[in-house]
Amino acid sequence: MKTKNSADINSLLKYGFSKSVVSLMIKILTAGLTYLMFVVLSRSMSEQNYGQFAFGFSLATILAIAANMGQETAILRFWPEEIGKKARAKAVEALSAGWLLVLIAAIIIALIIIGATFIYNILSSYNLISYSFIMAAAILIIPLAMAEYGSSALRAQGSVLTALTPRDIFWRFSVPLVVFIIYVFGFELNGTEALLLTSFILMLAMGLQFFLANRFGYQTKIYFSSLKPYVKKRWQISFWFLISTLISMIALYVDVVLIGFLVSMESAGLYFNAFRTAGLMTLFMHAINLVIAPMIAKYFYAKELDKAQAITSLCSWAGFIFSIGIFIIFIFFGDLILSLFGPTYVEGKIILLLLSAGLLIDAATGPTQIAMVMTGHERAYVAIFGSIMLLSFVILFLVIPIYGIVGAAIVNMTARIISQTAIVIWAKKKIGINTSIWGFGGVNFKELAISLKPDLRK
């Protein structure tokens, strides 16, 4: 006989699985289009120009997360939390205030970068054009920040297609298409032009997202009156959301920026391509995270840890198995895959394998950041992950000038393995959720078997 608890878990797994499949399908298409975008850009630009684009794109991505001020994570927690309390007005207030904070911060950061670059060029002997790609990267910060928050705001409301399609499909399809057309007509983009083109098309994608969201009845309106009460009530927790997300994003992109500064733009481009390729391993886990973030928050605060553990464990194993398959492909065909960017990028295979090894352990530890942030332990996450990453940044400064991009990849891999393992141990002890692939030990298999039995008969 099926118990109520097992029925709830069965329903939860079905819901999470169906949502994850939709997210995965979009993310698979996104990964292909993202790869196509960077391949077309790499093939149609010189190594120097592409290196400038990779540097500017990485810098803009880090600063866009800073501009989000943690709001892309906050809304995933505050919206379901307030809706669960039947306080829709508070949920709308959080969403509206988040939009304002992100937009204001993005504009301020962009202006600071542009101003600082302009002043530096005046004081130095370089022509302004030499650093124009940094100014273009500053402009890209604004649509990147808005797109990141917009996606989270819609996912918090239960949307997947509307949240992901404009940025992940329209933008990533349009950029390589336009670049290819420009290349066919005999024009080669430099780093500045490529970044500006990317910004413009992303702005169009954001316009499409707002249109679709309004059409399907999702909340997108901005109320200036919502800003003051939201900041007064939520600023402290939002700060920790910002720090946790920013540290995670810096850990992903700081290598490219440091290599561009300390080695060369060509090396930054090579490392960037290897990193983007290695990132394919986390494709399924990221797709799952889009779905389970608000679910973990909901069931944790409802004190239903069995449900949170069940969905987390299932997703951890799914992501890990997917990652193993991709890692094996990289071992045998990594050089062939990298050759898509151009013959010189084949040299990045060792970088690809080192970064992939770290990401494989990352997949095995599951959604560590999501579990800690969604359950109110963002400070602990910052303390653990931040301290390890800070140490790794210092080591990078010392290692990169001597050992180059190989040294950077080894530091990245080692820091990722140590930090994720430490977080899993802490989360299991303090939260009661084991986010890793070994977390199934906390799931009642008998209850799950009973709940899934009718479906297995069909």
Residue ranges of domains in the chain: 1-32+263-458, 45-253
pLDDT digits (tens, 9 = 90+) for 169-179: 899 999 999 99
**Amino acid, single-letter form, for residue 108:** I
In the chain, pLDDT over 90 holds for what percent of residues? 42
pLDDT digits (tens, 9 = 90+) for 247-281: 776 777 789 989 998 999 899 999 999 998 998 88
Q: CA-CA-CA-CA torsion for 318, 372, 209, 62, nearest 10 degrees?
A: -100
pLDDT digits (tens, 9 = 90+) for 214-242: 888 888 878 888 888 887 777 777 677 66
Per-residue pLDDT at 60: 94
DSSP per-residue letters across 60-118: HHHHHHHHHTTHHHHHHHHHHHHHHTT-HHHHHHHHHHHHHHHHHHHHHHHHHHHHHHH
Length of the chain: 458
Residue 3 in this model has a pLDDT that exceeds 60: no
Residue 15 in tokens: 């819901």
Collapsing DSSP to helix, strand or coil, 221 comes out as coil
Per-residue pLDDT at 27: 67
Residue 260 in tokens: 């561009």
Per-residue pLDDT at 395: 95
Distance CA 104, CA 222 (A): 13
Collapsing DSSP to helix, strand or coil, 133 comes out as helix
Distance CA 278, CA 323 (A): 10
pLDDT digits (tens, 9 = 90+) for 185-200: 989 999 999 999 999 9
Residue 452 in this model has a pLDDT that exceeds 50: no
